[in-house]
Structure 1
Protein backbone atom coordinates (compact mmCIF):
# COMPACT_ATOMS: atom_id res chain seq x y z
CA UNK A 1 0.00 0.00 0.00
CA UNK A 2 1.23 3.49 -0.89
CA UNK A 3 0.30 6.25 1.56
CA UNK A 4 0.59 9.98 0.89
CA UNK A 5 0.49 12.10 4.03
CA UNK A 6 -0.66 15.65 4.72
CA UNK A 7 -1.07 17.68 7.87
CA UNK A 8 -1.33 21.32 8.90
CA UNK A 9 -2.15 22.60 5.42
CA UNK A 10 -4.13 25.49 6.99
CA UNK A 11 -5.67 26.32 3.63
CA UNK A 12 -7.69 29.18 5.12
CA UNK A 13 -4.66 30.81 6.76
CA UNK A 14 -2.31 31.12 3.79
CA UNK A 15 -2.26 29.90 0.16
CA UNK A 16 -0.75 26.45 -0.22
CA UNK A 17 1.76 25.49 -2.87
CA UNK A 18 0.46 23.19 -5.64
CA UNK A 19 0.16 19.64 -4.36
CA UNK A 20 0.42 16.68 -6.69
CA UNK A 21 -1.00 13.29 -5.81
CA UNK A 22 1.18 10.38 -6.83
CA UNK A 23 -0.22 8.13 -9.55
CA UNK A 24 0.47 5.04 -7.44
CA UNK A 25 -1.05 6.32 -4.20
CA UNK A 26 -3.64 4.03 -2.60
CA UNK A 27 -4.64 6.10 0.44
CA UNK A 28 -4.33 9.71 1.56
CA UNK A 29 -3.79 10.35 5.27
CA UNK A 30 -4.81 13.84 6.42
CA UNK A 31 -3.66 14.31 10.00
CA UNK A 32 -5.67 17.42 10.82
CA UNK A 33 -5.54 21.22 10.61
CA UNK A 34 -6.61 21.38 6.97
CA UNK A 35 -9.16 24.19 7.50
CA UNK A 36 -11.67 25.57 9.99
CA UNK A 37 -14.67 23.25 9.92
CA UNK A 38 -14.68 19.62 8.84
CA UNK A 39 -16.72 20.16 5.67
CA UNK A 40 -14.37 22.96 4.61
CA UNK A 41 -11.46 20.57 5.21
CA UNK A 42 -13.08 17.84 3.10
CA UNK A 43 -13.71 20.28 0.24
CA UNK A 44 -10.16 21.63 0.42
CA UNK A 45 -8.66 18.14 0.23
CA UNK A 46 -10.86 17.13 -2.68
CA UNK A 47 -9.66 20.09 -4.73
CA UNK A 48 -6.42 18.22 -5.34
CA UNK A 49 -7.11 14.63 -4.24
CA UNK A 50 -8.96 12.57 -6.92
CA UNK A 51 -12.35 11.31 -5.76
CA UNK A 52 -11.26 7.71 -6.37
CA UNK A 53 -8.54 7.89 -3.70
CA UNK A 54 -9.89 7.29 -0.16
CA UNK A 55 -8.86 9.74 2.54
CA UNK A 56 -8.23 8.73 6.13
CA UNK A 57 -8.60 11.87 8.23
CA UNK A 58 -8.51 12.97 11.82
CA UNK A 59 -9.60 16.38 13.06
CA UNK A 60 -7.00 18.86 14.24
CA UNK A 61 -7.61 21.62 16.75
CA UNK A 62 -8.01 24.04 13.82
CA UNK A 63 -11.06 22.18 12.46
CA UNK A 64 -12.91 23.08 15.67
CA UNK A 65 -12.19 26.82 15.60
CA UNK A 66 -15.39 28.90 15.99
CA UNK A 67 -17.32 25.67 16.47
CA UNK A 68 -18.58 23.36 19.21
CA UNK A 69 -16.68 20.09 19.58
CA UNK A 70 -19.56 17.55 19.77
CA UNK A 71 -21.60 19.33 17.09
CA UNK A 72 -18.68 19.58 14.67
CA UNK A 73 -17.84 15.91 15.13
CA UNK A 74 -21.45 15.00 14.31
CA UNK A 75 -21.36 17.18 11.18
CA UNK A 76 -18.04 15.63 10.15
CA UNK A 77 -19.26 12.06 10.55
CA UNK A 78 -22.40 12.76 8.55
CA UNK A 79 -20.60 14.53 5.69
CA UNK A 80 -17.48 12.35 5.42
CA UNK A 81 -18.93 9.45 3.34
CA UNK A 82 -20.04 11.80 0.54
CA UNK A 83 -16.39 12.89 0.16
CA UNK A 84 -14.99 9.33 0.33
CA UNK A 85 -13.40 10.27 3.64
CA UNK A 86 -12.94 7.93 6.59
CA UNK A 87 -13.23 10.38 9.50
CA UNK A 88 -11.71 8.77 12.60
CA UNK A 89 -12.26 9.90 16.17
CA UNK A 90 -11.60 6.96 18.48
CA UNK A 91 -12.47 4.72 15.53
CA UNK A 92 -10.72 2.32 13.19
CA UNK A 93 -11.18 1.34 9.57
CA UNK A 94 -9.61 -1.41 7.46
CA UNK A 95 -8.68 -0.55 3.88
CA UNK A 96 -7.25 -2.67 1.09
CA UNK A 97 -7.17 -6.26 0.01
CA UNK A 98 -4.86 -9.04 1.03
CA UNK A 99 -4.90 -10.75 4.37
CA UNK A 100 -6.74 -8.38 6.64
CA UNK A 101 -5.85 -5.24 4.68
CA UNK A 102 -4.39 -2.27 6.57
CA UNK A 103 -6.03 -1.13 9.78
CA UNK A 104 -6.08 2.61 10.46
CA UNK A 105 -6.93 3.81 13.97
CA UNK A 106 -7.26 7.52 14.53
CA UNK A 107 -8.18 10.41 16.80
CA UNK A 108 -7.27 14.04 17.42
CA UNK A 109 -5.62 12.80 20.65
CA UNK A 110 -5.00 16.17 22.35
CA UNK A 111 -2.57 15.86 25.32
CA UNK A 112 -2.19 15.08 29.02
CA UNK A 113 -0.03 18.18 29.73
CA UNK A 114 2.52 16.01 31.54
CA UNK A 115 5.58 16.11 29.30
CA UNK A 116 7.29 18.18 32.01
CA UNK A 117 6.08 15.86 34.75
CA UNK A 118 2.82 15.48 36.64
CA UNK A 119 3.89 18.14 39.15
CA UNK A 120 3.96 20.72 36.33
CA UNK A 121 0.73 19.67 34.61
CA UNK A 122 -1.31 22.42 36.28
CA UNK A 123 1.21 25.07 35.17
CA UNK A 124 1.12 23.69 31.63
CA UNK A 125 -2.68 23.74 31.56
CA UNK A 126 -2.75 27.33 32.81
CA UNK A 127 -0.22 28.33 30.15
CA UNK A 128 -2.38 26.71 27.48
CA UNK A 129 -5.52 28.32 28.87
CA UNK A 130 -4.06 31.80 28.39
CA UNK A 131 -1.62 31.14 25.57
CA UNK A 132 -3.60 29.20 22.96
CA UNK A 133 -6.39 30.32 20.67
CA UNK A 134 -7.88 26.84 21.13
CA UNK A 135 -9.37 27.89 24.45
CA UNK A 136 -10.69 31.15 23.08
CA UNK A 137 -12.10 29.99 19.74
CA UNK A 138 -13.44 26.49 20.48
CA UNK A 139 -16.66 25.77 22.37
CA UNK A 140 -17.46 22.68 24.38
CA UNK A 141 -21.24 23.16 24.64
CA UNK A 142 -23.94 25.48 23.31
CA UNK A 143 -26.68 24.86 25.88
CA UNK A 144 -25.44 25.81 28.35
CA UNK A 145 -22.61 27.67 26.65
CA UNK A 146 -19.26 26.34 27.81
CA UNK A 147 -15.80 27.17 26.58
CA UNK A 148 -13.40 24.39 25.55
CA UNK A 149 -10.79 24.33 28.33
CA UNK A 150 -7.60 22.37 28.92
CA UNK A 151 -9.67 20.19 31.26
CA UNK A 152 -11.82 19.08 28.30
CA UNK A 153 -8.73 18.49 26.17
CA UNK A 154 -7.33 16.26 28.93
CA UNK A 155 -10.62 14.36 29.11
CA UNK A 156 -10.61 13.72 25.36
CA UNK A 157 -6.96 12.66 25.49
CA UNK A 158 -7.72 10.13 28.23
CA UNK A 159 -10.54 8.63 26.18
CA UNK A 160 -8.47 8.50 23.00
CA UNK A 161 -5.45 6.97 24.68
CA UNK A 162 -7.67 4.26 26.18
CA UNK A 163 -9.14 3.57 22.73
CA UNK A 164 -5.73 3.33 21.05
CA UNK A 165 -4.41 1.08 23.78
CA UNK A 166 -7.37 -1.26 23.36
CA UNK A 167 -7.35 -1.33 19.55
CA UNK A 168 -3.62 -1.97 19.28
CA UNK A 169 -3.92 -4.81 21.78
CA UNK A 170 -6.54 -6.47 19.59
CA UNK A 171 -5.06 -9.14 17.28
CA UNK A 172 -4.88 -8.17 13.60
CA UNK A 173 -3.28 -10.05 10.70
CA UNK A 174 -2.14 -7.02 8.70
CA UNK A 175 -0.32 -3.76 9.43
CA UNK A 176 -1.93 -1.25 11.81
CA UNK A 177 -1.45 2.49 11.43
CA UNK A 178 -2.19 5.04 14.16
CA UNK A 179 -3.06 8.51 12.88
CA UNK A 180 -3.23 11.39 15.36
CA UNK A 181 -3.01 15.15 15.14
CA UNK A 182 -1.23 15.76 18.43
CA UNK A 183 2.21 14.28 18.74
CA UNK A 184 4.51 12.09 20.78
CA UNK A 185 7.17 13.72 22.95
CA UNK A 186 9.92 12.03 20.93
CA UNK A 187 8.91 14.07 17.88
CA UNK A 188 9.47 17.45 19.58
CA UNK A 189 12.51 19.31 18.15
CA UNK A 190 15.15 20.00 20.82
CA UNK A 191 14.75 23.76 20.62
CA UNK A 192 11.13 23.48 21.80
CA UNK A 193 11.61 20.93 24.55
CA UNK A 194 11.67 23.67 27.20
CA UNK A 195 8.67 25.63 25.91
CA UNK A 196 5.82 25.05 28.35
CA UNK A 197 3.24 25.38 25.56
CA UNK A 198 4.72 22.24 24.00
CA UNK A 199 2.79 20.35 26.70
CA UNK A 200 -0.41 21.37 24.91
CA UNK A 201 0.72 19.71 21.67
CA UNK A 202 2.57 16.56 22.69
CA UNK A 203 2.44 13.81 25.31
CA UNK A 204 4.83 11.09 26.37
CA UNK A 205 3.25 8.13 24.60
CA UNK A 206 6.16 5.72 24.96
CA UNK A 207 4.06 3.16 26.81
CA UNK A 208 1.46 3.20 24.03
CA UNK A 209 3.61 3.42 20.93
CA UNK A 210 6.66 1.48 22.18
CA UNK A 211 8.74 2.81 19.28
CA UNK A 212 11.68 0.79 17.93
CA UNK A 213 15.13 1.53 19.32
CA UNK A 214 16.71 4.53 17.66
CA UNK A 215 13.53 6.29 16.57
CA UNK A 216 13.70 9.91 17.68
CA UNK A 217 17.24 9.46 18.98
CA UNK A 218 20.66 10.33 17.64
CA UNK A 219 20.45 7.63 14.97
CA UNK A 220 17.14 8.89 13.57
CA UNK A 221 16.79 11.28 10.65
CA UNK A 222 17.07 14.90 11.90
CA UNK A 223 13.70 16.55 12.57
CA UNK A 224 13.37 20.24 11.66
CA UNK A 225 9.58 20.49 11.87
CA UNK A 226 6.65 19.65 14.06
CA UNK A 227 5.74 16.20 12.70
CA UNK A 228 2.68 14.05 13.08
CA UNK A 229 3.86 10.50 13.81
CA UNK A 230 2.31 7.38 12.37
CA UNK A 231 3.17 4.14 14.10
CA UNK A 232 2.94 1.11 11.85
CA UNK A 233 2.83 -2.44 13.13
CA UNK A 234 3.77 -5.04 10.55
CA UNK A 235 3.02 -8.77 10.73
CA UNK A 236 5.95 -11.07 11.36
CA UNK A 237 8.14 -11.49 8.27
CA UNK A 238 6.70 -8.48 6.39
CA UNK A 239 8.94 -6.07 4.49
CA UNK A 240 9.32 -2.85 6.56
CA UNK A 241 9.46 -0.82 3.32
CA UNK A 242 6.11 -2.08 2.08
CA UNK A 243 4.21 0.86 3.53
CA UNK A 244 6.73 3.58 2.78
CA UNK A 245 4.68 6.62 1.72
CA UNK A 246 4.91 7.44 -1.99
CA UNK A 247 5.32 11.14 -1.11
CA UNK A 248 8.37 10.43 1.05
CA UNK A 249 9.73 7.88 -1.40
CA UNK A 250 9.89 10.50 -4.15
CA UNK A 251 10.58 13.69 -2.21
CA UNK A 252 12.82 12.33 0.53
CA UNK A 253 15.23 9.91 -1.17
CA UNK A 254 17.24 9.53 2.03
CA UNK A 255 14.22 8.36 4.03
CA UNK A 256 14.53 4.85 5.42
CA UNK A 257 11.83 3.12 7.48
CA UNK A 258 13.12 2.05 10.87
CA UNK A 259 12.17 -1.39 12.15
CA UNK A 260 13.10 -3.49 15.11
CA UNK A 261 15.12 -6.65 14.64
CA UNK A 262 12.04 -8.72 13.98
CA UNK A 263 10.83 -6.28 11.30
CA UNK A 264 7.42 -5.97 12.94
CA UNK A 265 7.24 -2.24 13.66
CA UNK A 266 8.35 0.89 11.95
CA UNK A 267 7.68 4.58 12.17
CA UNK A 268 6.69 6.75 9.23
CA UNK A 269 7.05 10.46 9.94
CA UNK A 270 5.86 13.20 7.60
CA UNK A 271 8.18 16.20 7.52
CA UNK A 272 7.00 19.53 6.18
CA UNK A 273 9.19 21.76 4.04
CA UNK A 274 9.87 24.53 6.50
CA UNK A 275 10.92 28.18 6.10
CA UNK A 276 14.13 29.46 7.67
CA UNK A 277 12.30 30.15 10.94
CA UNK A 278 10.52 26.89 11.87
CA UNK A 279 6.86 26.91 12.85
CA UNK A 280 6.39 24.83 15.91
CA UNK A 281 3.88 24.10 18.57
CA UNK A 282 1.86 26.16 18.49
CA UNK A 283 2.14 28.04 15.19
CA UNK A 284 1.90 31.80 15.56
CA UNK A 285 -1.70 31.88 14.29
CA UNK A 286 -2.73 29.49 17.08
CA UNK A 287 -1.18 31.57 19.86
CA UNK A 288 -3.32 34.16 21.58
CA UNK A 289 -0.18 36.05 22.53
CA UNK A 290 3.15 36.60 20.68
CA UNK A 291 5.72 33.79 20.90
CA UNK A 292 8.39 34.24 23.57
CA UNK A 293 11.69 35.80 22.58
CA UNK A 294 13.58 32.92 24.19
CA UNK A 295 12.67 29.28 23.65
CA UNK A 296 14.03 28.42 27.08
CA UNK A 297 11.67 30.68 29.00
CA UNK A 298 9.73 27.72 30.37
CA UNK A 299 12.76 26.36 32.18
CA UNK A 300 12.56 29.18 34.71
CA UNK A 301 8.83 28.72 35.14
CA UNK A 302 9.09 24.98 35.64
CA UNK A 303 11.92 25.28 38.11
CA UNK A 304 9.98 27.86 40.10
CA UNK A 305 12.50 30.63 39.53
Structure 2
Protein backbone atom coordinates (compact mmCIF):
# COMPACT_ATOMS: atom_id res chain seq x y z
CA UNK A 1 0.00 0.00 0.00
CA UNK A 2 1.34 3.40 -0.96
CA UNK A 3 0.81 6.15 1.64
CA UNK A 4 1.04 9.89 1.14
CA UNK A 5 2.28 11.52 4.36
CA UNK A 6 1.74 15.07 5.63
CA UNK A 7 2.03 16.83 8.96
CA UNK A 8 2.59 20.22 10.57
CA UNK A 9 1.01 22.24 7.78
CA UNK A 10 -0.04 24.98 10.23
CA UNK A 11 -2.63 26.32 7.84
CA UNK A 12 -3.72 28.86 10.47
CA UNK A 13 -0.76 30.96 9.27
CA UNK A 14 0.77 29.12 6.29
CA UNK A 15 -0.23 29.37 2.62
CA UNK A 16 -0.20 25.81 1.32
CA UNK A 17 -2.63 23.97 -0.92
CA UNK A 18 -2.39 20.19 -0.37
CA UNK A 19 -2.77 18.03 -3.47
CA UNK A 20 -3.31 14.26 -3.69
CA UNK A 21 -0.31 12.22 -4.74
CA UNK A 22 -1.47 10.46 -7.93
CA UNK A 23 -0.17 7.02 -6.94
CA UNK A 24 -1.15 7.05 -3.25
CA UNK A 25 -3.79 4.68 -1.89
CA UNK A 26 -4.31 6.59 1.37
CA UNK A 27 -3.29 9.85 3.01
CA UNK A 28 -1.84 9.86 6.53
CA UNK A 29 -1.90 13.20 8.36
CA UNK A 30 0.19 13.14 11.53
CA UNK A 31 -1.22 16.24 13.19
CA UNK A 32 -1.02 20.04 13.36
CA UNK A 33 -3.07 20.74 10.25
CA UNK A 34 -4.64 23.97 11.52
CA UNK A 35 -5.12 25.18 15.08
CA UNK A 36 -8.39 26.90 14.02
CA UNK A 37 -9.60 23.72 12.21
CA UNK A 38 -10.67 25.89 9.24
CA UNK A 39 -7.96 24.43 7.02
CA UNK A 40 -9.41 20.94 7.44
CA UNK A 41 -11.81 21.84 4.64
CA UNK A 42 -8.98 21.64 2.13
CA UNK A 43 -9.12 17.86 2.51
CA UNK A 44 -12.88 17.57 1.95
CA UNK A 45 -13.63 15.12 -0.85
CA UNK A 46 -10.07 13.77 -0.88
CA UNK A 47 -9.96 10.94 -3.45
CA UNK A 48 -8.20 8.47 -1.12
CA UNK A 49 -8.97 7.49 2.48
CA UNK A 50 -7.64 10.03 4.99
CA UNK A 51 -6.20 8.74 8.27
CA UNK A 52 -5.73 11.52 10.81
CA UNK A 53 -3.92 11.62 14.15
CA UNK A 54 -4.34 14.92 15.98
CA UNK A 55 -1.39 17.11 16.87
CA UNK A 56 -0.98 19.23 19.97
CA UNK A 57 -1.97 22.43 18.15
CA UNK A 58 -5.35 20.97 17.26
CA UNK A 59 -6.08 21.73 20.94
CA UNK A 60 -4.84 25.31 21.10
CA UNK A 61 -7.09 27.45 23.31
CA UNK A 62 -9.43 24.49 23.90
CA UNK A 63 -10.35 22.13 26.70
CA UNK A 64 -9.48 18.59 25.66
CA UNK A 65 -12.73 17.28 27.15
CA UNK A 66 -14.72 19.40 24.70
CA UNK A 67 -12.27 19.28 21.81
CA UNK A 68 -12.11 15.51 21.35
CA UNK A 69 -15.82 14.92 20.61
CA UNK A 70 -15.93 18.06 18.45
CA UNK A 71 -12.85 16.91 16.56
CA UNK A 72 -14.40 13.48 16.01
CA UNK A 73 -17.55 15.07 14.62
CA UNK A 74 -15.55 17.37 12.36
CA UNK A 75 -13.51 14.41 11.10
CA UNK A 76 -16.66 12.38 10.47
CA UNK A 77 -18.17 15.25 8.48
CA UNK A 78 -15.07 15.51 6.30
CA UNK A 79 -14.68 11.77 5.84
CA UNK A 80 -11.47 11.49 7.88
CA UNK A 81 -10.66 8.40 9.90
CA UNK A 82 -9.54 9.95 13.20
CA UNK A 83 -7.42 7.59 15.26
CA UNK A 84 -6.94 8.24 18.96
CA UNK A 85 -5.98 5.04 20.75
CA UNK A 86 -7.69 3.19 17.91
CA UNK A 87 -6.75 0.69 15.22
CA UNK A 88 -8.07 0.14 11.71
CA UNK A 89 -7.11 -2.29 8.93
CA UNK A 90 -7.16 -1.29 5.25
CA UNK A 91 -6.50 -3.43 2.20
CA UNK A 92 -4.15 -2.25 -0.52
CA UNK A 93 -4.49 -2.74 -4.25
CA UNK A 94 -2.07 -5.65 -3.96
CA UNK A 95 -4.40 -7.40 -1.50
CA UNK A 96 -2.15 -6.91 1.52
CA UNK A 97 -3.91 -5.86 4.72
CA UNK A 98 -2.28 -3.02 6.63
CA UNK A 99 -2.99 -2.31 10.29
CA UNK A 100 -2.88 1.36 11.36
CA UNK A 101 -2.36 2.00 15.09
CA UNK A 102 -2.80 5.66 16.00
CA UNK A 103 -2.60 8.03 18.96
CA UNK A 104 -1.33 11.57 19.53
CA UNK A 105 1.06 10.07 22.13
CA UNK A 106 1.73 13.28 24.04
CA UNK A 107 5.25 13.73 25.41
CA UNK A 108 5.95 12.19 28.83
CA UNK A 109 9.18 14.22 29.22
CA UNK A 110 11.17 11.06 29.93
CA UNK A 111 13.29 11.20 26.78
CA UNK A 112 16.48 11.73 28.77
CA UNK A 113 15.51 9.49 31.68
CA UNK A 114 14.23 11.88 34.36
CA UNK A 115 10.79 13.31 33.51
CA UNK A 116 11.02 15.64 36.51
CA UNK A 117 14.28 17.28 35.50
CA UNK A 118 13.97 21.00 36.19
CA UNK A 119 15.32 22.10 32.81
CA UNK A 120 13.07 19.67 30.93
CA UNK A 121 9.98 20.87 32.79
CA UNK A 122 10.93 24.51 32.35
CA UNK A 123 11.06 23.96 28.59
CA UNK A 124 7.81 21.99 28.75
CA UNK A 125 6.04 24.83 30.56
CA UNK A 126 6.93 27.17 27.71
CA UNK A 127 5.25 24.98 25.11
CA UNK A 128 2.15 24.49 27.25
CA UNK A 129 1.97 28.26 27.74
CA UNK A 130 1.99 28.72 23.96
CA UNK A 131 -0.73 26.10 23.51
CA UNK A 132 -3.12 27.53 26.13
CA UNK A 133 -5.01 24.26 26.49
CA UNK A 134 -7.18 23.06 29.37
CA UNK A 135 -8.31 19.67 30.64
CA UNK A 136 -11.14 19.12 33.09
CA UNK A 137 -11.34 22.91 33.38
CA UNK A 138 -7.74 23.20 34.57
CA UNK A 139 -4.55 24.19 32.73
CA UNK A 140 -3.12 21.40 30.61
CA UNK A 141 0.24 21.76 32.33
CA UNK A 142 3.27 19.43 32.23
CA UNK A 143 1.93 16.99 34.89
CA UNK A 144 -1.39 16.74 33.03
CA UNK A 145 0.40 16.31 29.71
CA UNK A 146 2.58 13.57 31.20
CA UNK A 147 -0.45 11.71 32.59
CA UNK A 148 -2.15 11.84 29.18
CA UNK A 149 1.09 10.76 27.51
CA UNK A 150 1.50 7.73 29.77
CA UNK A 151 -2.09 6.66 29.09
CA UNK A 152 -1.32 6.88 25.36
CA UNK A 153 1.89 4.92 25.86
CA UNK A 154 0.12 2.13 27.78
CA UNK A 155 -2.50 1.78 25.08
CA UNK A 156 0.04 1.92 22.27
CA UNK A 157 2.25 -0.77 23.81
CA UNK A 158 -0.71 -3.13 24.23
CA UNK A 159 -2.12 -2.45 20.77
CA UNK A 160 1.18 -2.94 18.99
CA UNK A 161 1.89 -6.19 20.85
CA UNK A 162 -1.48 -7.73 19.93
CA UNK A 163 -1.12 -11.02 18.02
CA UNK A 164 -1.49 -10.69 14.26
CA UNK A 165 -5.10 -11.17 13.21
CA UNK A 166 -5.09 -11.26 9.44
CA UNK A 167 -2.95 -8.19 8.75
CA UNK A 168 0.31 -8.28 6.81
CA UNK A 169 2.06 -5.17 8.19
CA UNK A 170 1.63 -2.56 10.92
CA UNK A 171 1.89 1.22 10.63
CA UNK A 172 2.14 3.20 13.88
CA UNK A 173 1.07 6.85 13.70
CA UNK A 174 1.88 9.34 16.45
CA UNK A 175 2.22 13.09 16.43
CA UNK A 176 5.20 13.15 18.78
CA UNK A 177 8.45 11.53 17.69
CA UNK A 178 9.15 7.98 18.95
CA UNK A 179 12.90 8.35 19.46
CA UNK A 180 15.73 10.79 20.07
CA UNK A 181 16.76 9.85 16.53
CA UNK A 182 13.87 12.07 15.40
CA UNK A 183 15.23 15.15 17.17
CA UNK A 184 15.44 18.32 15.12
CA UNK A 185 19.14 18.65 14.21
CA UNK A 186 18.92 22.36 15.02
CA UNK A 187 18.32 21.54 18.69
CA UNK A 188 19.51 17.96 19.20
CA UNK A 189 19.72 16.89 22.82
CA UNK A 190 18.55 20.13 24.41
CA UNK A 191 16.04 19.76 27.30
CA UNK A 192 13.26 21.10 25.09
CA UNK A 193 13.59 18.06 22.80
CA UNK A 194 11.83 16.04 25.53
CA UNK A 195 8.72 18.04 24.55
CA UNK A 196 9.00 16.74 20.98
CA UNK A 197 10.18 13.12 21.21
CA UNK A 198 9.51 10.13 23.45
CA UNK A 199 11.76 7.21 24.28
CA UNK A 200 9.55 4.66 22.51
CA UNK A 201 12.46 2.86 20.86
CA UNK A 202 11.38 -0.41 22.51
CA UNK A 203 8.08 -0.23 20.62
CA UNK A 204 9.61 0.27 17.18
CA UNK A 205 10.03 -3.48 16.47
CA UNK A 206 6.25 -3.94 16.59
CA UNK A 207 5.72 -1.81 13.45
CA UNK A 208 7.13 -1.97 9.96
CA UNK A 209 6.54 1.77 9.49
CA UNK A 210 6.26 4.54 12.11
CA UNK A 211 4.89 7.90 10.96
CA UNK A 212 5.12 11.00 13.15
CA UNK A 213 5.07 14.79 13.00
CA UNK A 214 5.70 17.58 15.52
CA UNK A 215 9.37 18.06 14.59
CA UNK A 216 9.51 20.77 11.92
CA UNK A 217 12.04 18.85 9.87
CA UNK A 218 11.92 15.81 7.62
CA UNK A 219 13.08 12.35 8.66
CA UNK A 220 13.31 9.03 6.86
CA UNK A 221 15.50 6.53 8.68
CA UNK A 222 15.54 2.82 9.43
CA UNK A 223 16.10 1.17 12.80
CA UNK A 224 17.38 -2.44 12.64
CA UNK A 225 16.28 -4.91 15.32
CA UNK A 226 15.88 -8.63 15.86
CA UNK A 227 12.57 -8.70 13.94
CA UNK A 228 14.03 -6.89 10.94
CA UNK A 229 13.84 -3.12 10.72
CA UNK A 230 11.39 -0.27 11.26
CA UNK A 231 11.24 2.69 8.91
CA UNK A 232 10.53 5.99 10.69
CA UNK A 233 9.16 8.84 8.57
CA UNK A 234 8.25 12.45 9.28
CA UNK A 235 7.14 14.73 6.44
CA UNK A 236 6.47 17.92 8.38
CA UNK A 237 6.20 21.19 6.48
CA UNK A 238 6.65 23.64 9.35
CA UNK A 239 6.83 27.43 9.11
CA UNK A 240 8.04 29.02 5.89
CA UNK A 241 9.13 32.20 7.71
CA UNK A 242 11.75 30.11 9.50
CA UNK A 243 12.86 28.32 6.35
CA UNK A 244 11.37 25.03 7.58
CA UNK A 245 9.27 24.53 4.46
CA UNK A 246 12.25 24.79 2.11
CA UNK A 247 12.47 21.59 0.07
CA UNK A 248 9.16 20.24 1.39
CA UNK A 249 7.50 17.68 -0.89
CA UNK A 250 3.74 17.63 -0.37
CA UNK A 251 3.42 14.54 -2.52
CA UNK A 252 5.93 12.48 -0.54
CA UNK A 253 4.75 8.86 -0.39
CA UNK A 254 6.08 5.55 0.92
CA UNK A 255 5.21 1.90 0.39
CA UNK A 256 4.36 -0.48 3.20
TM-score after normalising by structure 1: 0.67
Equivalent runs, 1:1-305 vs 2, <5 Å: 1-16=1-16, 18-37=17-36, 39-46=37-44, 50-96=45-91, 101-118=97-114, 121-129=117-125, 131-134=126-129, 137-141=132-136, 145-172=137-164, 173-183=167-177, 184-210=179-205, 226-227=217-218, 258=222, 260=224, 264-272=228-236, 279=244
Larger radius of gyration: 1
**Worse-superposed segment, 71-80 or 89-98:** 89-98
- Equivalent residue number for residue 248 of structure 2: none
1:202 offset after TM fit, Å?
0.9
Alpha-carbon distance in 2 for matches of 1:119, 1:81? 36
Deviation at 1:264, TM superposition (A): 4.8
Per the TM alignment, residue 201 of structure 1 is displaced from its structure 2 partner at its CA by 1.2
Q: Deviations over 1:6-36 (max 9, x none)?
A: 00000011212x4331222111000000011
Q: Quick one: distance in 1 between partners of 2:39 and 2:156? A: 24
Give the direction of change, closer, same or farther, for the CA distance of 1:22–1:151 in structure 2 (3 Å limit).
same
Decide whether the 8 Å contact of 1:94 with 1:100 is kept in 2: no
Structure with the bigger percentage of strand: 2
- Provide, for residues 126-173 of structure 1, a one-character-per-residue CA deviation record: whole Å limited to 9, x for no partner: 3321x22556511113xxx31111111111110111111111111223
> Secondary structure at the residue paired with 1:266?
strand
**Conserved 8 A contact 1:65-1:138:** yes
- The one of the two structures with greater contact order (alpha-carbon pairs below 8 A, sep at least 6) is 2
Listed one character per residue, the Cα deviations across residues 105-124 of structure 1 (whole Å, up to 9, x for unaligned) are 11111111122321753431
Q: Kindly tell me: are residues 56 and 182 of structure 1, through their superposed partners in 2, closer, same or farther at Cα, counting changes over 3 Å?
A: same
- Shift, 1:188, TM fit: 0.7
Structure 2 unaligned regions, length at least 5: 208-214, 246-256
**Conserved? CA contact 2:6–2:235, under 8 Å:** no
**What root-mean-square deviation, in Å, do the aligned CA atoms of Structure 1 and Structure 2 show?**
3.2
* Displacement of 1:100: 6.6
* Alignment: residue pair count: 234
